[in-house]
Structure 1
Amino acid sequence: MEPPPGLEVHKEGQVCRLTKSLYGLKQASRQWFEKLSTFLASISYTQSKSDHSLFTKETPTGLTALLVYVDDIILAGNSMTEINRIKSLLHNRFQVKDLGKLKYFLGLEVARSKKGIHLSQRKYALDILEETGMLGCKPSLTPFLSDMNSLYKADNYLKDPTSYRKLIGKLLYLTNTTPDLFDSPVHVKAFSDSDWATCPNTRRSTTGFCIFIGSSLMSWKSKKQNTASRSSTEAEYRALVATTCEIQWIQYLLDDLKVQEAGTPALYCDNKSARHIADNQSFHEWTKDIELDCHVVREKIQANLLHLLPIRSDEQLADIFTKFPHRVRFRSIVSKLGLVTIDHTA
């Protein structure tokens, strides 16, 4: 390292001994979070076990939640007394700056209207278009391609994929917009789906699911599975496992936020064979390789922590994450997912 200004080094090989973590070092963020979490624990805030960046405190007057991302903090609750108290304590301890009501956070725009709070990433999306020189591009009716075979040809691969991977990372973050929570008891429902061996290179399937809390879309995913499946039933069941684990994680968060659930979560699947494996007590020869996955879903069903229900394929909302629906079908699913135009929410 270069000696800081004002420090004269008389001998070669001397090193600096740090008495405190400096900003910019790779361990600085961990040291800061440890210091902050220790302080929050000392004033009776409880760290969530399902999301370590979430801290909550329940008082006779309400619940206060504090979400941390490095040195940015979101504070929410239904007790202004506790909110003002924690802001004062944080300011006295760390000299924090109060930016007022949440408007923009990590690429997320917060829009308030008579209908509630909506989150948007419009500015983030425009920044991506500007960076890639596509501000004047012609918009597509759907985000899918009808023919993706050309994407897997080796002669189309980039010599330096760094810029492409950077863009993919930004596009993945663009799908992180999530809605708000509620004070009254809520019902959790989920839709799980999978295609089968659509990747021409690996023949792996794609898992897709969407989870609602009440009428608001809370979590969703579209991801290639880690292993190839020998049948569409096996692929569908792996998607069921991923959805079940996500539902369990959301239930943990709801418990931390003291949000009551109205009834048992419902999981909808349009594959009859996959539902049969979850309900059937005996294993067959062709299900041995997914035996562990079978137990994950089955134990939740037997403990009455999950209801696995049938649904017609044309009503399966998770199709949008695994298939290539026609634009009419695509628009129908989008509207049911709760996506709206911010300009029309007032």
Structure 2
Amino acid sequence: MTPPPGLYLPSPQHVCKLQRSLYGLRQASRQWYAKLSTFLLSNNYYIPAADHSLFLKYNNDKLTVILVYVDDLILTSDDREEINTITASLHHHFKIKNLGHLTYFLGLEITRNSSGLHLSQRKYTLDLLHEIGMLDFAPVATPMTHTSRLSPDQGSPLDADATSQYRRLLGRLIYLTNTQLDIAFVVHNFSQFIYAPTNHHQQAVSRLLRYLRGTPGEGLYFSHTSPLHLCGFSDSDWVTCTTTRKSVTGYFIYLGDSLISWKSKKQLTICTKHIEIDCHLVREKLNSGLPKLLPCKLLTYSPRPLLSHSSLLSNPSWA
């Protein structure tokens, strides 16, 4: 690093060699992650390929999860002994501070009760409305009118400052879709015009903000007694995008009674027939590696004859 002012050096060509990474330097976060990950890996944790900020450890039928964001860690497990062990080890090596049960993290509010968990972004939403100056506006019932069809040619272009504000606002609304899936489709629709927004698009975003004014505490609920079975639903519209003539696909997946995944995305190809829409959805998911095709053995099937009400009465063994 460059020598600080006031430090005497025998030659102006000399530089300082860091023995430890200083907080605030560019390489500080990398060095911190390297040190933390080395410690956790030495304690039999592993990093999944999908997320390098996530550390998992299986001990028989017990699971321990550590989520890392810079120097903040979230620890959860169904093994109380492992929680105490890893907490003591982390405190011994890094002098951590235990903040207790998780209640607020990166704009997410976590509320617990006897029956489950509730995730919301109420404070994040209210702060956003206060910053925009729409905290006192009257709320509306829907985030977007069902007859609204946005296109790049509607309205007059915004100036540079308004365009920059529109883009920043869309970025914050995208983060809000982490807990409010009811605005996922609308935010996806607005994001298509982020390169050249108009006053018509700005008015549509204002309606979405008025909708959020009436639902700041909406979020996700995870029940303690929810059964552990997966259930998914998907649907596609018919060439809703008037610009590209492409269809929009949406899906959501439940684990029991708890919603765990959802998405709204424009399809990559143009469909000429309505039946092709779902076929394109399956093809895109196969290409992304989400489902896997497994070989199966074909079974012969002999259908039973259709019986009328009278035949059931005459043959009670069929009933």
TM-score exceeds 0.5: yes
The answer to whether structure 1 residue 237 and structure 2 residue 279 are counterparts is yes
Cα deviation, 1:10-42, whole Å, max 9, x if unaligned, reads: 876765544444434444333322221111010
Task: Summarize the alignment of residues 4-19 of structure 1 with structure 2, pairs less than 5 Å apart.
Answer: 4=4, 6-7=6-7, 16-19=16-19
For residues 61 and 50 of structure 1, what CA distance do their matches in structure 2 show? 22
In the other structure, the counterpart of 1:300 is 293
Identity of aligned residues (%): 47
Task: Summarize the alignment of residues 59-208 of structure 1 with structure 2, pairs less than 5 Å apart.
Answer: 59=59, 62-149=62-149, 152-153=152-153, 155-160=155-160, 161-177=163-179, 180=222, 186-208=228-250
For residues 132 and 84 of structure 1, what CA distance do their matches in structure 2 show? 44
In the other structure, the counterpart of 2:32 is 32
Q: Say if 2:110 and 2:120, in contact at 8 Å, map to a contact too.
A: yes
For residues 35 and 7 of structure 1, what CA distance do their matches in structure 2 show? 30
For residues 172 and 43 of structure 1, what CA distance do their matches in structure 2 show? 36
Q: With the length of structure 1 as denominator, give the TM-score of the two structures.
A: 0.63
Give, in angstroms, the shift of residue 104 of structure 1.
0.5
For residues 228 and 9 of structure 1, what CA distance do their matches in structure 2 show? 68
Amino acid at match of 2:170: I
Give, in angstroms, the shift of residue 53 of structure 1.
2.1
Structure with a larger share of its residues in helix: 1
Change beyond 3 A, Cα 1:233–1:43: same
For residues 118 and 246 of structure 1, what CA distance do their matches in structure 2 show? 31
For residues 132 and 3 of structure 2, what CA distance do their matches in structure 1 show? 39
For residues 17 and 123 of structure 1, what CA distance do their matches in structure 2 show? 44
Q: Please identify the structure whose Cα radius of gyration is greater.
A: 2
Amino acid at match of 1:209: Y
Unmatched runs of 5 consecutive residues or more in structure 2: 180-219, 298-319
Give, in angstroms, the shift of residue 162 of structure 1.
2.2
In the other structure, the counterpart of 1:43 is 43
Give, in angstroms, the shift of residue 233 of structure 1.
3.4
Amino acid at match of 2:168: K
Amino acid at match of 2:68: V
Larger RCO: Structure 1 or Structure 2 (Cα < 8 Å, ≥ 6 residues apart)?
A: 1
Q: With the length of structure 2 as denominator, give the TM-score of the two structures.
A: 0.68
For residues 216 and 246 of structure 1, what CA distance do their matches in structure 2 show? 24
Q: Say if 1:102 and 1:110, in contact at 8 Å, map to a contact too.
A: yes
Amino acid at match of 2:36: L
Q: Say if 1:193 and 1:239, in contact at 8 Å, map to a contact too.
A: no
Q: How many residue pairs were aligned?
A: 255
SS in 1 for 2:102: coil
Q: Say if 1:152 and 1:200, in contact at 8 Å, map to a contact too.
A: no
Cα deviation, 1:212-263, whole Å, max 9, x if unaligned, reads: 1111100001122344444433333333355668894xxxxxxxxxxxxxxx
In the other structure, the counterpart of 2:267 is 225
Give, in angstroms, the shift of residue 87 of structure 1.
1.0
In the other structure, the counterpart of 2:192 is none
Task: Summarize the alignment of residues 324-343 of structure 1 with structure 2, pairs less than 5 Å apart.
Answer: none
Q: Say if 1:68 and 1:74, in contact at 8 Å, map to a contact too.
A: yes
For residues 201 and 149 of structure 1, what CA distance do their matches in structure 2 show? 10
Q: Say if 1:179 and 1:218, in contact at 8 Å, map to a contact too.
A: no
Unmatched runs of 5 consecutive residues or more in structure 1: 249-296, 305-346
